[in-house]
């Protein structure tokens, strides 16, 4: 049996298991290629969905039979709409049964179909689309009426993760509190920089930043 078929079978088998919802991932992250990982997860140059979720206390689940201790978890897969359509179907069609509440889907190139197709197949689960490149944006946001997808700007998987957590926060007060704390910290960071710039003056501030 091929690795592809094993992966498809694993997803479908997992959908048949009766697991405690607290042991299943709330968020799924899928991308069209591992070359999208720096955008979808984050890199030294910019933060991504992985960074946002872990900052908010999520942990990545890699073994369904041995989930992390964290209450909220996410999973990550490479799923190509064009090269592995059967895997895309299996992932999206089983998402809700496997316990997912929201999916973050990213793809690059001019034919960035993974977010759109995932949104169609996983419906009514909400899907947040991430255009990995600027040229991917029209493809990701170009869904017809009646086939919804939430989308962020090109490369902004960090925002996609925040949106996913906002969706979950409507049912989980703990996540709402984490989002509020995160936002408060952002405001304090801006205020701190503003005071430093004002008190040191532009030349002094620039010298400190170098």
In the annotated binding site, the residues are 33, 36, 83
Q: Mark the binding-site residues for substrate, compressed into ranges.
A: 33, 36, 83
- b (16+ CB within 10 A) / e for 134-161: eebbebbbebeeeeebbbbebbbbbbbb
At residue 9, the 3 state secondary structure works out as helix
- Whole-angstrom distance, CA of residue 90 vs CA of residue 95: 8
- Whole-angstrom distance, CA of residue 84 vs CA of residue 31: 12
51 and 37 in contact (C-beta within 8 Å)? no
Closest CA to 84 of 179, 193, 190, 6: 6
């Amino acid at each position: 049996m091929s690795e592809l078929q094993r992966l498809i079978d694993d997803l479908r088998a997992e959908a048949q298991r009766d697991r405690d919802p607290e042991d299943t991932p709330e968020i799924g992250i899928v991308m069209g290629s591992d070359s999208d990982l720096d955008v979808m997860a984050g890199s030294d140059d910019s933060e991504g969905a992985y960074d946002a979720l872990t900052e908010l206390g999520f942990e990545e689940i890699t073994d369904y039979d041995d989930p992390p201790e964290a209450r909220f978890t996410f999973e990550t897969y490479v799923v190509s709409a064009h090269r592995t359509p059967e895997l895309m179907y299996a992932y999206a069609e089983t998402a809700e049964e496997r316990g997912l509440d929201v999916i973050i889907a990213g793809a690059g190139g001019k034919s960035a179909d993974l977010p759109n197709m995932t949104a169609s197949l996983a419906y009514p689960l909400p899907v947040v689309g991430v255009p990995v490149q600027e040229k991917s944006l029209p493809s990701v946001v170009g869904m017809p009426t009646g086939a919804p997808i939430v989308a962020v700007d090109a490369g902004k998987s960090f925002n996609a993760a925040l949106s996913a957590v906002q969706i979950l926060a409507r049912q989980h007060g703990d996540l709402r509190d984490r989002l509020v704390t995160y936002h408060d910290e952002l405001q304090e960071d801006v205020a701190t920089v503003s005071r430093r710039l004002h008190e040191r003056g532009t030349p002094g501030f620039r010298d400190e930043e170098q």
